[in-house]
Structure 1
Amino acid sequence: MIRIRNYRNFKIVRLLLVFTIALVITGLITTTYWGANGVPITSYKTSWIGNTFGGGAKWVQNQVLDMYVATDGTVYTNSFWDESGREAGVYKNGDVIAKAEDLHGWERTGGFAVTADKKHLYVGMEQRYIATDKPADYPPENTTWYCVRRYELSGKIAPFPGGKGVGQNMLIVSDKHRVTGLATIGSELYVAIRDSNIVRVYNTNTLQEVRKFSVPNPTKIAVDKQGKLWIIQKPKDGNAAKIGHYSPKGDRLPQTISNVPKANAIAVDNQNRLLIADNGKNQQIVIYSLKNQPTQVGSFGVKGGIYAGVPGEVGNLKFYGLTGVGVDGSGNIYVNSSGFNEGVGTQEMMTGTDIRKFSPSGAMQWRVLGLPFVDNADVDPKTDGIQVYTIHDRYMMDYSKPVGKQWTYKGYTLNPFKYPEDIRLRNAHGSVFFRRIQGKPFMYFTDMFGSFLHIYRFNPATDGEIAIPSTMLVNTSDKEEKVQADSFPPNQPQIGDWIWRDRNGNGAFDRGEYEASGRDYPYIGGWWVDSKGDVWKTVRTADGIRHFPLQGIDAKGNPIYSYSSMKKIATPKIFNDIRRIEYIPETDTMYLSGFTAEHPALQDDGKAFGSEIARYDNWSKGNRKERFRITVPFSPKANPEVLTASMSITGNYIFTITSKTPEVSVYNAKTGAFVTKFKPGAEVANESGWIDIPYGIRAFRRANGEYLVFAEEVAKAKIIMYRLPK
């Protein structure tokens, strides 16, 4: 037995013990929120998925459309858009070290070309009109300035006499067409403008034009050791590219490379070899000797890229969606992959950044990733949270690792060469539900407006990691006119709701694979896929619930849904505008959200979640009397406005998240009682972008009782992951 011999010391120890207990009880040492069934939610941890860095001053931009590598290995990039303003990023030694200032907002964006010399960084960008009290800094109404903007190598603005725009560092090269390529030779800056079929040349000190010359469809430019230009010539209509050879004065030289029709980026190495990023099926860097007639002397990267071997399986030398290549003074090779997306006639919708540095022998030295954008995650329930999917990507989780290090990028699920009609090539933003139906994996994808639900199947034996287009449910368009003949997808019904199923298994939208139902109410509230594979949909009407029971899985592996089996269900009377829906078949419990007479919508926002959540027990037995109602955060007149965006129910809790100041609220799923709320923690610099999608929060309860809560984080190109102990 240990005895305290000094009574005075004993009193001090006792007082300290009482004070400590009081601190614990009041939550000053650790915060404990008592939730459902007396189960405590102790202090949560914030982590993230999909970006090398957690936020604050460091994050990898969400896309790269051009890349230039300096002799010392500094990597300069350009994007059309990055949510937090890193349109033009600067990277070195596996770190993000800077960004070009003031390229975001006020109708400014980045662009498609970047280069640097020993003193300055040059960034292709666009400045559109904006009404302001400083009109000289902006173009006239209905005009866009297509510019090269000059910076110090640190990213600071570098003004020059006669410079336009905010900062007086914009060189206006066109008011009609964007900049598509940049390069420097000595004191001269070369600017390609594809849609004007011209290359303009400027003095880098004064940025005065010194000459111009014609080049058909010029885009990316590289300079060889003799000071000659190699220019990718890529027609706007998507026809085959070729690479032309030009003198600095613009004289057309006889050498041409025409056997890389999908050339997308270009660089010259320290051996005076030309490196061309082939964005076709090979997904390689092809290497040409420039002695006399250019001759291919090698390649870099696995032929077939990410589709070689196990299709979609990530590998150090497997590339996908090549947009950048460069070489430093030591012969190290740098490659960027940005995935595939056709956008709306441009590359502006492309998402993902994957910059890698390799030694001359091909060993990867470092890699930085910024993969998700307007995206959220869901888990494969069979794996207890170990396998996590986003729209394009699969991650493997190791929850024993430090914050931000739990994820490993394992799979890219999109194959544009085998499945060119995959809707994700045209719509890159939204979220997924991942389900196991009859033991088989399926991914359900809906866009940021909830206008469709696209279903993907998996066949690892034939397609590895690739999600195969399988089934699609589409809502009635809000436009009255018939679908145009060239609309996507092909062969679709002219009017109204429809279901497509890939009956022949080729992943294409063929004739005879559609079922039409005629026009339904055009404004959708939400989609849900329950654990049995039934699909639920809400539209904003008195009979606003649509239930599509799963009718089985066909011989090609597609889930079957039909209008003949679809049930229309009346909206419970408390809702005058129903929005989201989640049904749990194991307990026959329905959760609905929407606007009510007591808490009406103050404006017509088609993406809104509503102002209340209601729970219904014994739903399939016809019970429409709510067990409880929850009033969720909803204050559109606040500054900033407070709108709940999404909900997710799992285990003992209902999780909701607000949109503009993303804050998670937690409610008891059995009683509706408020439990707690939390925000992004210090691990992600206490910050998050807006929630832009109707399923911006997704929760999963692991077998050990731990809760994983995923939230869209558009600002810094990642998914936030909250971990709540059981």
Structure 2
Amino acid sequence: MQGIYVTSNGTVYTNSNWDEGGRATSIFQNGTITSADANGGGGQAIVVSGSTIYESNSSGVTNNPPCAAGGCGIQLLNASTLAALSTTISGDSAVSSTGSAAIYGLAIGNGNLYAAINDQNKVDVISLSSNSVTATWNITAPGLIAVDSSGGVWISHKTNTALPNVNGIVNDEWGDFGTAVIDHYNSSGTHINSITLPDSGEVRALWIDSNNNLYAGDENTDQNIKIYNNILSSPTLSGTFGTQGGVYTSSTPGVVAPGRFRFITGIGTDSSGNIYVSDDDYGHGVLLSSYTSSGSLNWQVQGLEFVSLGAVDPNSETDFYDPYHHFHLNYSDQNSNIGTYYSDTFDPYQYTTDVRATGNPNIAEVQYIQGSRFLLLSDQAGGYLQINRFQSGSEITVPCAALDYGAFQNQYLDFSVQPTNGEFIWTDANGDGIIQSSEIAQPTSAAALAPAGQLEHRDGNDFWMDTNGNLWQVNYYSPDEGSIHIREYLFQGFNSHGCPQYNFNNLNIYTNSTDFPQISGVSQVVYRPGDSEKGTIYIAGGAPSAGAFDQITRVDNWSSGNRTPTWTNNIVWNPGTASGSTLINPVSFSIAGNYIFVDYNAVHYVLVYSTVDGSYVGEIDAGSDVGGDSNIGNDDMWLSTTAFERSNGQYVITKEEDYQAKNLLYVWTPAGTESQTATPALSPGGGTYTSSQSVTISDSTTGAIIYYTTNGTAPTTSSTKYTGSISVTSTETVQAIATASGYSTSNVGNATYTISSCSPAAITPYIWTSAGGWQQITSISVASGTAVDLGPQPTSGGSWSWTGPGGFTSTSREIDSIPLSAGTNTFVATYTNSCGANSTETFTITVTGSEGPYGGTAAAIPGTVQASNYDTGGSGVAYNQTTSGGQTGYRTDNSGAVEADSGDNNSPANGYDLGWTGSGQWYKYTVNVATAGTYTVSFSVASPSGQTDGFHMQNSSGTNLSGNVNVPNTGSWYTWQTVTASVTLPAGTQTLELAEDNSGWNLEYMTFASNSSGTEVSLNSAFNITGIYSNGTTFSSSGGLDDGGAAYSSNLLGTSLTYSGIVYAFGTANQNNAVQGTGAPVVTLTSGSYSTLNFLGTASSGNQASQLFTVTYTDGTTTNFTQSMSDWFTPQSYSGETTAVACSYRNLSNGTEDSRTFNLYHYSFALNSAKTVKSLTLPNNSDISVAAVTLK
């Protein structure tokens, strides 16, 4: 969107120099497009007068659609219908002699149309009455034009600064467009004065409103709009609109928000004072926005995708990246746009040699190398790959490395800094994200470089990264390497700035004749290390036409030298017909889970095949919600689809769609993989009520839609959709079901509500003590040991029920010598009268006396102490609480500090937290410390704003043990994080005091962990395989860790390993020294109470998801832990998994070494520290192994 014009009523007219759908000219009203497709036009500027549109149509025959009859120049259109009028202003005086897009500015005033013709250094003055040129002003490099109410003409200037290059062309997409100067001329062309933008500004958009305020869009680093008043006499900068620095300046650079512009191309205003802004750049996408004069967003239209393809972050299924943008996905909103534009990942001002400033990458994927995340950028033809690293605290990604086979189409260089004689590899050696010539490497063989005068290295393309970090390149030909083959660039580790390293000396070359003779030619290759023990390669080939394929072959154990295909499948070729098209063919594929997704060009659908045997699964087509097949363009890229498997078994398939500026996201659920939606919950619960009830229905499944009935019939998806609370005014049963995308329908949730006119009876409270007899009161304070009776009235005519501390219940009216403990004791009496109505009364008895541990037993350390389990003894003895608000009934012996935890309530929380904090308040805890020493205390805290010096822990003498503890901003009162402090404690029973120094935070629990290195568990009786051998040892080819003749090296592991402060002991080399999961073996644990169980282990023969481990305690109870485990060769960075040691080789059964990286992983499970452990049961899976276990 290169130019816009806004009428007084807020109608926005736009012009574009290219539109794949042929809608270069568009009309918007209130954020809705009102114009039709295929309307012609195409250029840089547009202006409207009455019922006529004047637009530059100066891009020559490259327009889409091409210029109208009569030639290029200035096209006249009907402002309502966009019908082309018979008049076209063309000829040498109004069109570029070079055929380029040279008419950059149009404006109307004084009965004339002013046209800025940049490459001819002139402005033509064209009479509106005759549509002929009446004057020509000689203006150097004119750019944009605006006319004020007095007839003054304001003209900016466009520069054409070329980037330095040799024998090639570099698209300077982010180079200078405008200078800082706007010149002011009278209606005769005489210069009056000038405006110069501050801060080295560059004018890219220009507008004058009805009040003679001039708006200049600054495309330089300010990225805002400069507003000038008094322009008829003495122009003065009166203000700006938009955030200075645009999207590139904020607390998190790159995050989008109203007013954060990123390349302003058009400005306009209407009679209501609204401001309209377009921002756009080559490849970066279009935004058209309407703001109030105060900066509030009225509406925004987005067109962010054109010849582009994005992908889901493989470790975060709600994050989606294209080459320039980051989106958040909401899968519950699949009937509209499931992606929310969150940020830009490109900063052209900080990283000036980023390929996105010159080469317009079209394809983005996210890949992880050893846990580090990278954004991969490739172009339409696959001729280069740029690797960007992510950085903390910013959405902007940093260029880190690049590979390029040479100039695109033998003429365009991709990068602003690159050699001109063929392929190269760049690695960011100094970490600044900017390419320097000294950081570029080329092949040492002269024959590998392109011949003199030829910029491109012949026919190399399609760079792709596997999960090991290795890069694959196909369709490659060079003079010294022969015909079609595949290259594998081996990952050489990271440099000091976290950039992956590659070179021309460490690569594998696979040839057609030797390695994949079963398939002719190569179109695409995908290598999946985890699909077989030694990795699996999928090759698409055959050559029905250029850039396509009709076969896919799978070869397992590729890295071990196997070349025998597991299967080869003929992919459906020319499966349908498309009018006027011969491009009905598969063009690319992607793999996720057990499926291959093959994308087709003109027929626009995706065919699905099985990775297991290559068999056909089904077809995915575009639905009516995206306009159907007729609203989809052809695929224009070497990679036109990506795929991702969600945690719920769904698949997300992304497909390029340039015709209407979007990516298509298909969400597919294979049959039989759905989880069930949670059962809806109704509140309040069913029962007898004396008045109408407002019933709410909720469901814990994200994105669930609820349907309900109130007439006793079973609910279906045709029943009433739940949108808010239901009023129940008479006796009825409410039933509800829920559905969610990717889940099967829930079970029925139901509740019956009986609405009765029966009124509850009043309760008269009485409390008896030996000192005061019966008193008509509800609360009393007594000394320890005092006998207390409760005897409310009436004495007859109904029934009673009681609840009280420690699970106390009774059905008597009068209860004698009630059980009391120190502190506050709360009893609740319920009286049900003869007609069934309930009434309640609460009695509070406070027992004063000495302090004691909650529940009568001191809390064990090491272990977890719940914040809500402070000592008993009452106010001033066990606690001091002066603020109130959160009382739940869990602890009734204070004024209301304990509240129900409505947040994540993660283990080992007990469902309550200590809130309503304040300076000077304190709580005491009686604890029993097992061993004297230093302990790390993890405090689970929550705060919406954070608090410096929130609290500290002290002993009974008042000594500050922990130092002052700062509470971070966790995001809300119930979003929990842990902060730690160290305390040194003597052994034995003692009292610790939590002293509150400031308010503004909640505390959930405190976990005390010994700073020791842990208790190593002897596995000698459990060892059942030999998984560790010393170097040079030969053993059975069916033995080792993987039952396939491979094992860890004891020379690398040693006899013990310390990881994260925990010591692990390995078994003796060359004998049974690992526990394999076959038969679900049971490991006897060292008896004791511990906070965590920690072990070193791995999977083999592929990644093993969702493995179940069970810890059994001496009291017979168990705790289950589910953990996914990576294959030792293919780390997946699963949640709860870290790499304890990366071995540079493994030992093979023939006594040799396999010199690749094999990993041993660390896992840790939280235990119930109040119990004594007995044993650990492993999953019944021969493909998982444990090498060492330590308790802590």
Provide the TM-score with structure 1 as the length reference: 0.81
Query: In the alignment, which residue of structure 1 is the partner of 2:400?
Result: 470
Instruction: Work out whether residues 538 and 544 of structure 1, in 8 Å CA contact, stay in contact via their aligned partners in 2.
Output: yes
Question: Is 1:431 matched up with 2:363?
Answer: yes
Distance 1:683 1:258 in 2: 46
Q: Are residues 1:257 and 2:196 paired?
A: yes
Q: Which is higher, the Rg of structure 1 or of structure 2?
A: 2
- 1:354 has 2:293 as partner: no
Cα distance between partner residues in 2 of 1:173 and 1:576? 50
**Is the CA contact 1:222–1:267 (under 8 Å) kept in the aligned structure 2?**
yes
How do 1:18-33 and structure 2 match up within 5 A? none
Take 1:71 and 1:257, find their aligned partners in 2: how far apart are those partners? Answer: 28
Q: 2:237 aligns with which of 271, 280, 296?
A: 296
Equivalent residue number for residue 539 of structure 1: 475
> Structure 1 residue aligned with 2:22, among 85, 100, 106?
85
489-498 vs 508-517, which moves further: 489-498
1:473 touches 1:500 (CA, 8 Å); kept in 2? yes
Aligned mates of 2:406, 2:187 — CA distance in 1: 56
CA contact (8 A) 2:58 2:95 kept: no
Query: In the alignment, what sits opposite 1:180?
Result: 104
Deviations 1:164-223 (A, max 9, x none): 79xxx9995454462111111253211111222222222324312233322222221112
Change (3 A) 1:186 1:91: farther
Question: Structure 1 residues 715-724 or 639-648, which shifts more?
Answer: 639-648
Aligned length: 621
User: Corresponding residue for 1:192?
Assistant: 116
Return 709-718 or 495-504, whichever deviates more: 495-504
What are the residue-to-residue correspondences of 1:197-276 with 2, within 5 Å? 197-237=121-161, 238=176, 240-257=179-196, 259=198, 261-276=201-216
| Deviation string, structure 1 residues 705-725 (Cα, Å, up to 9, x no partner) | 001000000000000011101
Given the alignment of the two structures, is residue 117 of structure 1 paired with residue 57 of structure 2, yes or no?
no
Give the residue type in structure 2 aligned to 1:314.
V
Give the aligned partner of residue 70 of structure 1: 7
Task: Give the SS at the match of 1:576.
Answer: coil
| Contact 1:285/1:299 (<8 A) preserved | yes
1: CA distance, partners of 2:414 / 2:88: 43
Separation (CA, whole Å) in 1 of partners of 2:42 and 2:409 = 33
Distance 2:92 2:59 in 1: 9
1:496 to partner: Cα distance? 4.0
Shift of 1:507: 1.3
* Runs of 5+ consecutive residues of structure 2 not aligned to the other structure: 162-175, 450-456, 477-481, 671-1192
| 2:498 corresponds to 1:554 | no
Aligned residue for 1:51?
Answer: none
CA distance in 2, matches of 1:488, 1:295: 42
- Give matches, 1:661-672, under 5 Å: 661-672=603-614
Aligned: 1:307 with 2:252: no
CA apart distance, 1:402: 4.2
Cα distance change on mapping 1:488 and 1:653 into 2, 3 Å: closer
Kindly state the Cα deviation for residue 255 of structure 1 after the two structures are TM-superposed. Answer: 3.9
Looking at structure 1, the residues matched to 197 and 296 of structure 2 have their Cα atoms a distance apart, in angstroms, of 30
In structure 1, what is the equivalent of residue 556 of structure 2? 617
Residue 344 of structure 2: which of 389, 412, 419 is its match? 412
Residues 477/336 of structure 1: CA separation in 2 closer, same or farther (3 Å cut): closer
- 1:361-372 equivalences in 2 (<5 Å): 361-372=294-305
Name the structure 1 match of 2:225.
285
Q: 1:677 aligns with which of 619, 626, 640?
A: 619
Q: Does 1:594 align with 2:518?
A: no
- Inter-partner Cα distance in structure 1 for 2:563 and 2:184: 73
Partner of 2:641: 697
Q: Which letter does structure 2 place at the counterpart of 1:403? A: N
CA positional deviation for 1:258: 5.2
Distance 2:352 2:435 in 1: 10
Equivalents in 2 of 1:700, 1:244: separation in Å? 54
The alpha carbon displacement at 1:654 in A equals 0.7
2:607 and 2:619 in contact (8 A); partners too: yes
- Give 1:251 shift: 2.1
Q: 460, 465, 469: which one pairs with 1:524?
A: 460
Per-residue deviation, 1:619: 1.3
Distance in structure 2 (CA, Å) of the matches to 1:478 and 1:230: 40
Give the corresponding residue for 1:512: 438
CA RMSD of aligned residues (A): 2.7
Q: Residue 543 of structure 1: CA displacement? A: 6.7
The amino acid of 2:214's aligned partner reads L
Alpha-carbon distance in structure 2 between the residues aligned to 1:179 and 1:476: 33
Aligned to 2:267, which of 299, 307, 325?
A: 325
Query: What amino acid maps onto 2:398 in structure 1?
Result: I
Distance of aligned partners of 1:427 and 1:257 in 2 relative to their CA distance in 1, 3 Å threshold: same
Describe the shift of the 1:543–1:159 C-alpha distance in structure 2 as closer, same or farther (beyond 3 A).
Answer: closer
1:76-102: per-residue Cα shift (whole Å, max 9, x none)?
Answer: 111110100111111110111115854
Give the Cα separation in 2 of the matches to 1:402 and 1:92: 26
Aligned pair partner of 1:501 in 427, 450, 457: 427
| Residue 659 (structure 1) shift | 1.4
Closer/same/farther in 2, CA of residues 218 and 707 from structure 1, 3 Å limit = same
1:635-656 superposed Cα distances (whole Å, 9 cap, x missing partner):
4997522121110011121111
One-letter amino acid matched to 1:452: Y
Which residue, 517, 530, 541 being the options, matches 1:573?
517
Distance 1:203 1:189 in 2: 6
Match of 1:620, SS state, is helix
1:217-266 deviation per Cα after TM superposition (whole angstroms, max 9, x unaligned): 22211122223111112233347341011122222213443546411111
What is the SS of the residue equivalent to 1:338? strand
Aligned CA distance change for structure 1 residues 171 and 714 (closer, same or farther; 3 Å): farther
In the TM superposition, what is the alpha-carbon distance from 1:114 to its structure 2 partner?
0.6
8 Å Cα contact 1:201/1:211 also seen in 2: yes
Correspondence for 2:529 = 585
2:650–2:668 contact (8 Å) kept in structure 1? yes
Among residues 277, 281, 285, which one is paired with 1:335 in the alignment?
277
Bigger shift: residues 466-475 or 365-374: 466-475
Q: Is the 8 A contact 2:56 2:103 kept in 1?
A: yes
Q: For residue 645 of structure 2, what is the amino acid of its counterpart?
A: R
Tell me how far 1:497 sits from its aligned partner: 3.0
Match of 2:22, SS state, is coil
* Distance change (3 Å), C-alpha of 1:91 and 1:617: same
Distance 1:172 1:635, change over 3 A: farther
Shift in CA distance, 221/668, structure 1 to aligned 2, threshold 3 Å: same
User: Structure 1's 137 and 183: CA in aligned 2 closer, same or farther, altered over 3 A?
Assistant: closer
Report the AA paired with residue 516 of structure 1: Q
In structure 2, give the amino acid aligned to 1:560. Q
Aligned counterparts of 1:197 and 1:205: Cα–Cα separation in 2: 25
- Deviations 1:553-589 (Å, cap 9, x if unpaired)? 2211101122222111233111231120001111222
- Asked if 1 retains the 8 angstrom alpha-carbon contact of 2:74 and 2:88, the reply is no
**Contact 1:100 1:157 (C-alpha < 8 Å) held by counterparts:** no
Contact 1:87 1:99 survives alignment (8 Å): no
CA distance in 2, matches of 1:465, 1:670: 38
- CA separation in 2, counterparts of 1:478 and 1:171? 35
Deviations 1:631-685 (A, max 9, x none): 2233499752212111001112111111122221111111111111132211111
Are the equivalent residues in 2 in contact too, given 1:270–1:331 (CA < 8 A)? no
Q: Alpha-carbon deviation of 1:362?
A: 1.1
Does the Cα contact within 8 Å between 2:43 and 2:59 map onto a contact in 1? no
Q: 1:445: Cα distance to partner?
A: 1.1
Deviation at 1:490, TM superposition (A): 6.0
